[in-house]
Amino acid sequence: MTGFLASVATLDEMALARTAGADIVDLKNPAEGALGAWALDDLRDAAALWRGWGDGAPSLSATIGDRPMIPDAVRAAAEAVAETGAPLVKLGVFRDGDAGACFEALRPLSRRAKLIAVFFADQGVDPALVEHAARAGFHGAMIDTADKTAGGLRSHIHTPALGRFVREARALGLLTGLAGSLRRTDVEELAALGPDYLGFRGALCDGGRTGAFSVEAARSLRAALDAQRAA
């Protein structure tokens, strides 16, 4: 069954996403890029709030920011985010630098934190790098979009290719996700591919991804995903 990842920009939005039924509450600062990061002190506050939710709480993920693939810098950023208490740590696989070397640098961290490699549809997804992430101990892989002004996920990768990504990543033992300016109208076709989750930000907000979080929009997406589960 495909879960619901809701990206949030504040502690208040965290609570709203939980109320709306998110399966993963994703801490991301949309004003700072595709994977803009929260400040570390704010991440610590968020992790404490999440722990206080107790049993039955959604999962919690956090991004390390839009960073070029420089091993020492990526490792340091990922370690800093993991140390705040966020159990899922997301990092972008950008074109700049050496992604493979970054994966190797993160291998020790992957033994104590659940790392998610975020590939970008508008920058190309290399299956060999997906395999490398799995070998390096990553917990998951997802596809998103880097340029939020250049169209949604399916304007860059056709549905059959997305399905192939999901199947191949799952065969490697990875948690799988799809995101990238997704709308409610994307749910039926993408959920049918069987990813572990679909990720949303702009569709949850009034006025775009940097706008106010809408509980009504989030509940609508929750209902759409539930309908696919029941189908």
Reported pTM:
0.96
Q: What is the pLDDT of residues 149-200, one digit of tens each?
A: 889 999 999 999 999 999 999 999 999 999 999 999 999 999 999 999 999 9
- For 67, the enclosing helix (H) or strand (E) is none
SS3 175: strand
Q: Say what the pLDDT of residue 149 is.
A: 86
Give catalytic residues, as residue numbers. 28, 90
Q: Say what the pLDDT of residue 229 is.
A: 79
Q: What is the pLDDT of residues 10-46, one digit of tens each?
A: 999 999 999 999 999 999 999 999 999 999 999 999 9
Percent of the chain with pLDDT over 70: 100
> 23: which 2 tokens?
């399966």
Please report, for residues 11, 90, 98, 152, the alpha-carbon distance to residue 185 in angstroms, rounded to integers and kept in the order given: 28, 26, 36, 12
Q: By the 8 A CB rule, do 74 and 65 touch?
A: no
Alpha-carbon Rg for the chain in angstroms: 16
Domains of the chain: 3-230 (3.20.20.380)
User: How many angstroms separate the CA atoms of 86 and 43, rounded?
Assistant: 7
